[in-house]
Chains A and B, each alone.
Chain A
Amino acid sequence: MNRKIYNILMVGVGGQGIITASDIFALAALIHGFDAKKSEIHGMSQRGGSVFSHVRFGEKVHSPVIARGEVDILLSLEEMETLRWLAYANKKSLVVVSKTRIKPAMVSDYPEDMEQQLGKSFPNLLMVDPGVLSKRIENEKFFNVSLLGLIAPLLPISIQAWEKAIGQKVPLHFLEQNLNAFKQGSLYYDSIKKEVNS
């Protein structure tokens, strides 16, 4: 096993399923045999605030939080939220962004040029069309899990470990659909892989 610690930062807005997704993520890493830690601040009960979760895994993880600049993958479920966490990323970080826009309460119009802004800041950017992915999964509710499937091919965690973790974290009657969402995410990644590599 190499000594690398993998640092994944998942960000978005309350209600997008980030906490569940990061629960699954860290558990999959543990089941695979890694040391794993994850850290987030459980917001207050009200909806709509910024949400983030740090997931770290490797042979031995000390800090539950990622140091600035050290993120390997920034997985963002909301366009402008991505920029809030810029300081944690670097030029090599893979930044996966779902093209989802949730307008903050205090703002009158969502900035039109957000995609351009993201393109300017993140050299290694992958924009995901939630429409395309959602069509392939039965229910938008499992979109968070399909995004895990999307980045899974980039990580040294076995499919079996991922599936086992999903099995432990989602209700039984939704298991099928979640496993399918995960698979569709990976297939989607395969279909766009060439872009990422270039």
Chain B
Amino acid sequence: MEKLLLSGNEAIALGAYEAGAIVGTGYPGTPSSEILEALTSYPGVYTEWSVNEKVAFEVALGAVLAGARTLVTMKHVGLNVAADPLFTSSYTGIKAGLVIVTADDPQIHSSQNEQDNRNYAAAAKIPMLEPADSQEAKDFTELAFVLSERYDTPVLLRTTTRISHSMTVVTKGKNPDRSHKAQGFKRNREKYVMIPAHARARHSIVEQRMRNMTQDSNNLAVNRMELADKRIGIITSGVSYTYVKEVLPEASVLKLGMVYPLPEKLIREFAEYAEKLIIVEELDPFFELRIKAMGLAAQGKQHLPLVGELSPDTIRSGLKAVVPQELFAQGSAAAQQKLSSAYTPPPRPPALCPGCPHRTVFTILKKLDLIVTGDIGCYTLGVLPPFSAMDTCVEMGGSVGMAQGMEAALGSAYNHNTVAVIGDSTFAHSGVTGLINAAYNKHRSVIIVLDNETTAMTGMQPNPLSGQRINKETTVKLDYLKLAEAMGIKTENVHIVDAYAKAQVEEAITASLNKRELSLIVVQGPCIILKRKRKKA
């Protein structure tokens, strides 16, 4: 059997392909982006970068209702954007399998927060699987499609950065199931039209489904007891499992492959066996609270951090006080011989590339000392020296709305010293709606779009301002002028300027602020890494 070394993300794509997925959608976001890119390389799968996660989810839901097995991918905060359809898709159920990948980012390697998306599974009443390596990433994706169709529910697949981006060995499947075809949409209004009368009935079905799944999860092979030393029983999942095996090879382990709903009977059985239950989980005490609610004595977060990733080291030091010494792996004798240095290397914080088109704007914003509501992308680095020219950054699209709020708060005292700065991908994602709001509510904001023709931050994915689709096919480009005109922004207040023409960029900003009318400034210049890539291709 062919063995490959794959990242968790590549393994998910392979799993989706082998499970017969014929549609894949998503919006880029670290650490999830490579899944859809990998899926695009397989034959017979339609893929798209959707404009944002909500749309990606809706396209996916439409596809499954029309009978296509579908994978939809996003990072953890992306699921916030898609949360609205997520919750109600739990009620409608599916027709063909729907698997939603949420890639969480403990340690905030490349995100704005560290939310634990297991909470979404519980809140939306949707089952969730969590793999511990790439083999499981592939296998669990396939299992997720099976469960989705067996229980008529979307299924969440949660990865973390360590799973998505680590490479481990994967055995390719024997017979990919590529026979699956979409049959087209069949009406079922009680199921798919969520008016209150229908939704009430569906809610009961959802609750029954969760009871059934809770029962069945006790016999699911991915929930596995590894019984060994009786003194300590560890309940864990995902990458934490691999750390536990490394650090406590002799302890008994209950490895949860399905992290929601929890297999209550199995957990009780495990608790019977082990004298002391310890929960090892990253971020929130998700298992711990539920296991304690079962009336079982368990320990967890009093020993392990709520913040950041776990590691073999944090588990070793955190559990020293509660686990007998002899259960810990010895470690090499050499490892005890610590090294030291008088010199600590200075950090190498990320910085805009030399020659980056975003540099001009921030040089000017710094010079003008404006208040800058910022957004998410490479250009967020405008907050750091030498620019120090960004004052807020919360979520994608946030810059546009927040600038309007700052104006509203001051009313006639507002002195036109605030601009919003947003990248092209982010503008298409959720800046456009904010701009409609500005026009509709007569705000006089100055919105600066930094158009580098790509979604640079997450690895150069094309977007509606790139003129290209995920498969490199050419397509339409959003027309800023017509868009602004349609919203009711005066044509004379739309400025499209070259990112390297310093004087024009500055002139556009000062003129717009002085004019005190809603203005859209588009600063255009391709990302230089993108340019280099294009040259190579």
Query: Could you tell me if A65 and B311 are in contact, using CB atoms closer than 8 angstroms?
Result: yes
Determine whether B113 belongs to the interface, using a CB cutoff of 8 Å to chain A: no
Determine whether A160 belongs to the interface, using a CB cutoff of 8 Å to chain B: no
Please name the residue on chain B nearest to A13 by beta carbon.
Answer: B348
Enumerate chain A interface residues (CB-CB to B < 8 A).
Answer: 13, 23, 26-27, 30, 35-50, 61-65, 67-70, 80-81, 83-84, 86-87, 89-93, 104-107, 111, 114, 117, 120-122
Could you jot down 14 A-B contacts, CB within 8 Å?
A37-B168, A38-B166, A43-B110, A43-B350, A44-B30, A45-B378, A61-B168, A67-B316, A83-B344, A84-B345, A87-B339, A105-B348, A111-B343, A121-B339
Query: Could you tell me if B335 and A64 are in contact, using CB atoms closer than 8 angstroms?
Result: no
Query: Could you tell me if A90 and B242 are in contact, using CB atoms closer than 8 angstroms?
Result: no
Query: Could you tell me if B246 and A117 are in contact, using CB atoms closer than 8 angstroms?
Result: no
Residues of A within 8 A of B527 (CB): 45
Residues of A within 8 A of B245 (CB): 62-63
Determine the distance from Cα of A116 to Cα of B493 in the docked complex, in whole angstroms: 61
Enumerate chain B interface residues (CB-CB to A < 8 A).
Answer: 3, 5, 30-31, 109-110, 133, 161-162, 165-169, 239, 242-243, 245-247, 311-313, 316, 331-332, 334-353, 356, 378, 381, 456-460, 527, 529
* A39-B348 contact, Cβ under 8 Å, with A65-B312, A117-B343, A121-B339: no
B114 to chain A, nearest CB (A): 14
Partner of A23, one of B167, B169, B347: B167
Query: Could you tell me if A63 and B312 are in contact, using CB atoms closer than 8 angstroms?
Result: yes
B386 to chain A, nearest CB (A): 9
Please name the residue on chain B nearest to A4 by beta carbon.
Answer: B332
Query: Could you tell me if A45 and B456 are in contact, using CB atoms closer than 8 angstroms?
Result: yes
Determine the distance from Cα of A23 to Cα of B165 in the docked complex, in whole angstroms: 12
Query: Could you tell me if B169 and A35 are in contact, using CB atoms closer than 8 angstroms?
Result: yes
Q: Which of B312, B331, B345 has the most CB of A within 10 A?
A: B345
Query: Could you tell me if B338 and A90 are in contact, using CB atoms closer than 8 angstroms?
Result: yes
Residues of A within 8 A of B3 (CB): 30
Partner of B348, one of A50, A68, A114, A120: A50
Query: Could you tell me if B312 and A44 are in contact, using CB atoms closer than 8 angstroms?
Result: no
Query: Could you tell me if A62 and B246 are in contact, using CB atoms closer than 8 angstroms?
Result: yes
Determine the distance from Cα of A102 to Cα of B490 in the docked complex, in whole angstroms: 49
Residues of A within 8 A of B316 (CB): 67
Residues of A within 8 A of B529 (CB): 45, 47
Determine the distance from Cα of A65 to Cα of B110 in the docked complex, in whole angstroms: 18
Determine the distance from Cα of A70 to Cα of B339 in the docked complex, in whole angstroms: 12
Residues of A within 8 A of B312 (CB): 63, 65, 67
Partner of A92, one of B313, B337, B347, B353: B337
Determine the distance from Cα of A104 to Cα of B346 in the docked complex, in whole angstroms: 7
Partner of A30, one of B169, B247, B311: B169
Determine the distance from Cα of A70 to Cα of B247 in the docked complex, in whole angstroms: 12
Determine the distance from Cα of A44 to Cα of B459 in the docked complex, in whole angstroms: 8
Query: Could you tell me if B165 and A41 are in contact, using CB atoms closer than 8 angstroms?
Result: yes
Residues of B within 8 A of A107 (CB): 346
Q: Which of A23, A26, A105 has the most CB of B within 10 A?
A: A105
Determine the distance from Cα of A120 to Cα of B342 in the docked complex, in whole angstroms: 9
Please name the residue on chain B nearest to A121 by beta carbon.
Answer: B341
Residues of B within 8 A of A40 (CB): 165-166
B313 to chain A, nearest CB (A): 5
Query: Could you tell me if A27 and B5 are in contact, using CB atoms closer than 8 angstroms?
Result: yes
Determine the distance from Cα of A62 to Cα of B135 in the docked complex, in whole angstroms: 12
Query: Could you tell me if B161 and A41 are in contact, using CB atoms closer than 8 angstroms?
Result: yes
B331 to chain A, nearest CB (A): 7
Residues of A within 8 A of B460 (CB): 45
Please name the residue on chain B nearest to A113 by beta carbon.
Answer: B343
Partner of B167, one of A26, A50, A84, A104: A26
Query: Could you tell me if B30 and A89 are in contact, using CB atoms closer than 8 angstroms?
Result: no
* A106-B346 contact, Cβ under 8 Å, with A63-B243, A120-B341: yes
Partner of A36, one of B5, B335, B338, B340: B5
Known: A46-B381, A67-B311, A87-B338. 20 other contacts (CB 8 A): A23-B5, A30-B169, A36-B5, A37-B168, A38-B5, A38-B166, A39-B162, A40-B165, A42-B30, A45-B459, A48-B351, A62-B245, A67-B313, A70-B332, A80-B343, A90-B334, A90-B339, A91-B334, A114-B343, A121-B340
